[in-house]
């Protein structure tokens, strides 16, 4: 188990993969998982049913957080800040058949036309490195051919005229842009409107590992197994539960706070390891109520062997800003040849 902070509270799961070996080997490795976000928590576990086996020499950047004997299960993890393929590996103390999983968890004109007026932007914030194809700028007196600007560090790929009251901007935020910036709309007649602090660039949330643990139960019976976590879970955190079992599948996971756990794979992965077959899967809860050390695995009765790795992670994502229309400013250029009255 591992408890961390920093996941996306709406949809933390990004990628998953597995690899197993039917030939005894001391070199254990997972499949490669290609992340799609610039800030992710990578969680991996290796399992073998042989007793008294240790894991060592993890791949560069990976940390062995925990391992359990008998029935070895090794938990490894890391935090990455760049997208790309990631694969973990360890060296076992004895050449054995094994299975190893990896999961990744993831911002009209006239002679004297009135000036434009930008009043709101939706969405009004985005994270570094993100692209937004449809940012709606709402206001009045927009003209066909109007352009828009979001300040340094944000590229405006296009600014489409929808109507006199709406534009759609396609923007890309660089990885170095920071803070709030003004959003400016300029009509073809050079009259413009600036919405002060109309858009905010957020930095990726920091991921924190809160707690982790591994468990072994051989066999478990009665239809449920309740595990005791090292410490009480925190509110708003994510819980990730990696499972290796035989022969009965885990049908659901619950905790003492009544949180909802989502099954990671619709069908558990079967590992035909010579002499000892296993299944693997994982469950996760996106945003927990917190305050419990109880984690219960439910299966269909009878008895089953279990190897479990658990992680708790947490994040801190800045809230969206609210837009105050009173902060917008206008500038107007008079047509040539006209003087102020």
CATH number at residue 160: 2.60.40.10
Residue 274 lies in a domain: no
Classify residue 136: in a domain, yes or no. Answer: yes
Helix (H, G, I), strand (E, B) or coil at 228: strand
* C-alpha span between 29 and 45 (Å, rounded): 10
Please check whether residue 245 lies inside any domain of the structure: no
Contacts of residue 341, Cβ cutoff 8 Å, sequence gap at least 6: none
* Residue of 75, 85, 1, 82 whose CA lies nearest to 40: 82
Residue 133 in any domain: the answer is yes
Provide the 8-state DSSP code for 321. Answer: P
Phi, psi dihedral angles at 99 (to 5 degrees): -135, 140
Q: Measured between alpha carbons, how far is 312 from 236 in angstroms, rounded to an integer?
A: 10
The verdict on residue 95 lying in a domain is no
In which residue are the tokens 């109007």 written? 146
Q: How many domains does the chain have?
A: 1
Backbone angles phi, psi at 318, to 5 degrees: -60, 140
Domain that holds residue 173: 117-204+322-331
Answer whether residue 129 is part of any domain: yes
Strand, coil or helix: what is 327?
helix
Instruction: Say how many Å lie between the first and final Cα of the chain, rounded.
Output: 75
pLDDT, one tens digit for every residue, the chain (341 residues): 777 777 788 888 899 998 988 889 999 899 999 988 888 888 998 888 777 788 899 999 899 888 887 668 889 988 887 888 999 999 988 898 999 999 999 833 344 588 999 999 999 999 888 899 999 999 999 999 999 999 999 999 999 999 999 999 999 999 889 999 999 999 988 899 999 999 999 887 778 888 999 999 888 888 999 999 999 999 989 999 999 999 999 999 999 999 999 999 999 999 887 767 899 999 999 989 999 999 999 998 888 999 999 999 987 544 433 333 333 444 334 333 333 34
């Amino acid at each position: 188990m591992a408890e961390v902070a920093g996941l996306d509270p709406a949809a933390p799961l990004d990628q998953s993969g597995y690899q197993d070996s039917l030939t005894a080997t001391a070199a254990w490795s997972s499949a490669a998982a290609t992340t799609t976000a610039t800030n992710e928590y990578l969680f991996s576990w290796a399992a073998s049913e042989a007793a008294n086996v240790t894991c060592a020499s993890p791949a560069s950047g990976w940390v062995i957080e925990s391992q359990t004997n008998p029935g070895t299960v090794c938990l490894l993890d890391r935090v990455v800040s760049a997208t790309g393929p990631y694969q973990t590996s360890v060296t076992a103390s004895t050449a054995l058949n094994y299975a190893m999983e990896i999961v990744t968890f993831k911002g009209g004109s006239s002679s004297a036309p009135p000036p434009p007026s930008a009043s709101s932007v939706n969405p009004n914030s985005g994270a570094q490195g993100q692209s937004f194809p449809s940012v709606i700028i709402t206001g009045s007196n927009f003209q066909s051919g109007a352009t828009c600007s979001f300040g340094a560090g944000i590229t405006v790929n296009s600014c489409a005229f929808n109507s006199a009251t709406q534009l759609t901007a396609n923007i890309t935020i660089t990885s170095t842009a920071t803070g709030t910036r003004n959003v400016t709309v300029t009509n073809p007649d050079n009259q413009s409107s600036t919405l002060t602090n109309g858009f905010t660039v957020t930095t990726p949330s920091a991921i924190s590992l809160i707690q982790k643990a591994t468990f072994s139960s051989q066999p478990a019976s009665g239809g449920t197994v309740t595990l005791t976590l090292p410490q009480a879970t925190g509110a708003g955190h994510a819980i990730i539960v990696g499972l290796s079992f035989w022969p009965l599948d885990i049908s659901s996971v619950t905790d003492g706070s009544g949180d909802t756990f989502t099954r990671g794979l619709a069908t558990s992965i079967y590992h035909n390891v010579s002499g000892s077959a296993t299944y693997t899967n994982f469950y996760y809860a996106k945003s927990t109520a917190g305050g419990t050390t109880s984690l219960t695995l439910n299966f269909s009765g009878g008895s089953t062997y279990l190897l479990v790795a658990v992680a708790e992670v947490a994040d801190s994502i800045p809230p969206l800003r609210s837009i105050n229309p009173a902060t917008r400013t206008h500038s107007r250029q008079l047509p040539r040849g006209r003087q102020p009255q």
